[in-house]
């Protein structure tokens, strides 16, 4: 990675999150070159890449373009990749993996494309240095991503390695936890900025409350991670990294209103507290074991977000109907002046809330299409 030269960077994300990722990148001062469901392209330096890995909340991976070329078959792919100066980028002591996305008549198997790229890299290093790096499917070292569409190929260094949604604070997951990047997208969709209370009944392992705390306080979310893909590259500039990390760790002193996180399960609250402590935000969140209907709601108005179960097994959904009706009643009776949100993968259950949703934003929780239902909970009469 060249720390100073501008280069193409593709930041990938989960479905439904590109809009929020774009907003983050614009906020950080980047111009958007292009955007699609799976990611956003910008221009930036290797130093920017390091910073983005520490600060992006809704991203999966930050990919740094190494080569873009035309290619008509697997043989040509090997040849082109084999001419790249890998011996200057990878030490034979390293471990690498290759991931491919292929949509071309030239080849119908992405694993075969990955194998060709991997062979081209290790053969080159072996020919130049007499030793070759190990390779396999682990993603915590050097990872290269190949995109092959028609006769065009893009080969990237995956500078994140493991997905950035793994922030390393969730030591205890409890039941059905949200992926951290999705939770951050949900919090961003509510417009939360720390200036009003954030209330999260049914908090489970605390992901929404923790992401809200990180967003509200303006804290860099990647500081807990000690391993990123770019660290494994030959010539990794440790000094620059320490400097960028130090800058990022100065962020996040912003005062925020209290965050309230409750759950009926003692174990869930234990997990959530532990996770919040690991994330360094436990002092910003009031945890309580209680039924959602007893959640203490600050009077001044704010944001209340539920992520209830939505019953993926047959018959489970019926049992959850009273819970959804109850959430509607709770918001109506106890959350006047708030914006209310329910994140659910079951729209039939969503209808049981009994309030008119102002918006229904689409997100994906894994493969499940979900909605973030938005309710305006007026206080008193409204003109």
**Least distance in Å: CB of 178 to ligand SAM?**
4
User: Judged by CB under 6 A, does residue 44 bind ligand SAM?
Assistant: no
Q: Which is nearer to ligand SAM, 159 or 282 (CB)?
A: 282
**Least distance in Å: CB of 209 to ligand SAM?**
9
Q: Which is nearer to ligand SAM, 62 or 202 (CB)?
A: 202
**Least distance in Å: CB of 291 to ligand SAM?**
4
Q: How many residues does the chain have?
A: 383
User: Judged by CB under 6 A, does residue 365 bind ligand SAM?
Assistant: no
Residue 146: strand pairing partners: 100, 155
Residue 147: strand pairing partners: 101, 154
Q: Which is nearer to ligand SAM, 11 or 209 (CB)?
A: 209
User: Judged by CB under 6 A, does residue 309 bind ligand SAM?
Assistant: yes
**Exposure string for 52-84, b = 16+ CB within 10 A, e = fewer:** bbbbbbbbbbbbbbbeeeebeebebbbebbbeb
User: Judged by CB under 6 A, does residue 204 bind ligand SAM?
Assistant: yes
Residue of 161, 74, 67 whose CA lies nearest to 114: 74
Q: Which is nearer to ligand SAM, 228 or 363 (CB)?
A: 363
Half-sphere exposure of 167 (CA within 13 A, CB side): 31
**Least distance in Å: CB of 140 to ligand SAM?**
23
Report angle CA 199, 203, 204 to the nearest 5 degrees: 175
Residue 73 corresponds to which tokens in the numbers above? 């078959």
Q: Return the residue of 291, 316, 318, 329 that touches ligand SAM, per CB under 6 A.
A: 291
Q: Which is nearer to ligand SAM, 22 or 211 (CB)?
A: 211
Total site size for ligand SAM, rule CB under 6 A: 20
User: Judged by CB under 6 A, does residue 12 bind ligand SAM?
Assistant: no
Enumerate residues 98-157 that contact ligand SAM by CB under 6 A. none
Q: Return the residue of 12, 114, 307, 346 that touches ligand SAM, per CB under 6 A.
A: 307
Q: Return the residue of 160, 169, 263, 370 that touches ligand SAM, per CB under 6 A.
A: 263
User: Burial, 90: exposed, middle or buried (Cβ in 10 Å; 0-12, 13-18, 19+)?
Assistant: buried
Q: Which is nearer to ligand SAM, 81 or 209 (CB)?
A: 209
User: Judged by CB under 6 A, does residue 194 bind ligand SAM?
Assistant: no
Q: Return the residue of 96, 98, 102, 178 that touches ligand SAM, per CB under 6 A.
A: 178
Q: Where are the beta strands (DSSP E) in 164-296?
A: 198-200, 259-263, 285-289
User: Judged by CB under 6 A, does residue 207 bind ligand SAM?
Assistant: yes
Q: Which is nearer to ligand SAM, 178 or 285 (CB)?
A: 178
**Least distance in Å: CB of 226 to ligand SAM?**
23
Q: Which is nearer to ligand SAM, 241 or 292 (CB)?
A: 292
Q: What is the DSSP letter of 104?
A: B
Query: Which residues have a Cβ under 8 Å from the Cβ of 110 and sit 6 or more positions away?
Result: 100, 101, 102
User: Judged by CB under 6 A, does residue 97 bind ligand SAM?
Assistant: no
Query: Which residues have a Cβ under 8 Å from the Cβ of 38 and sit 6 or more positions away?
Result: 12, 13, 15, 18
User: Judged by CB under 6 A, does residue 205 bind ligand SAM?
Assistant: yes
State how far the Cα of 42 lies from the Cα of 35, in Å rounded to an integer.
9
Q: Which stretch binds ligand SAM (CB under 6 A): 67-75, 145-153, 173-181, 228-236?
A: 173-181
Q: Which helix (H) or strand (E) covers residue 112, if one does?
A: helix 110-129
Terminal-to-terminal C-alpha distance of the chain: 57
Q: Where are the beta strands (DSSP E) in 222-351?
A: 259-263, 285-289, 303-306, 338-344
**Least distance in Å: CB of 351 to ligand SAM?**
19
Give residues in contact with ligand SAM (CB under 6 A). 174-178, 201-202, 204-205, 207-208, 263-265, 268, 291-292, 307-309
């Amino acid at each position: 990675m060249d720390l100073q030269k501008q280069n193409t960077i593709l930041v990938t994300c989960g479905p439904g999150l590109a809009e929020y990722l774009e907003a983050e990148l614009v906020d950080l001062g980047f111009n958007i070159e292009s955007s699609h469901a799976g990611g956003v392209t910008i221009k930036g330096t290797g130093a920017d890449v390091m910073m983005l890995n520490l600060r992006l909340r809704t991203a999966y991976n930050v990919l740094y373009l190494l080569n873009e070329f035309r290619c008509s078959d697997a043989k040509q792919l090997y040849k082109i990749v084999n001419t790249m100066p890998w011996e200057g980028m990878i030490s034979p002591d390293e471990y690498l993996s290759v991931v491919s996305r292929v949509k071309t008549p030239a080849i119908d198997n992405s694993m075969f494309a990955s194998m060709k790229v991997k062979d081209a890299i290790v053969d080159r290093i072996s020919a130049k240095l007499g030793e070759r790096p190990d390779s396999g499917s682990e993603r915590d070292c050097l990872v290269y991503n190949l995109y092959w569409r028609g006769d065009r190929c893009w080969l990237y260094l995956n500078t994140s390695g493991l997905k950035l949604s793994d922030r390393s604070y969730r030591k205890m997951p409890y039941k059905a936890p949200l992926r951290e990047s999705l939770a951050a997208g949900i919090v961003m969709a509510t417009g939360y900025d720390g200036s009003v209370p954030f209330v999260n009944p049914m908090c489970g392992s605390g992901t929404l409350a923790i992401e809200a705390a990180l967003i509200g306080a303006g804290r860099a979310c990647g500081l807990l991670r000690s391993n990123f893909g770019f660290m494994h590259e030959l010539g990794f500039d440790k000094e620059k990294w320490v400097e960028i990390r130090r800058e990022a760790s100065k962020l996040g002193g912003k005062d925020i209103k209290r965050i309230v996180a409750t759950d009926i399960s003692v174990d869930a609250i234990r997990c959530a507290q532990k996770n919040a402590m690991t994330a360094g935000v436990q002092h910003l969140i009031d945890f309580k074991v209680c039924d959602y209907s007893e959640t203490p709601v600050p009077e001044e108005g704010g944001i209340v977000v539920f992520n209830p179960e939505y019953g993926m097994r047959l018959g489970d959904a019926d049992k959850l109907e009273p819970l959804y009706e109850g959430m509607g009643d709770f918001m109506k009776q106890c959350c006047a002046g708030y914006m209310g949100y329910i994140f659910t993968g079951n729209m039939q259950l969503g209808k049981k809330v009994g309030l008119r949703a102002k918006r229904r934003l689409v997100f994906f929780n894994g493969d499940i299409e979900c909605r973030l239902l938005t309710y305006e909970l007026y206080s008193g009469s409204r003109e």
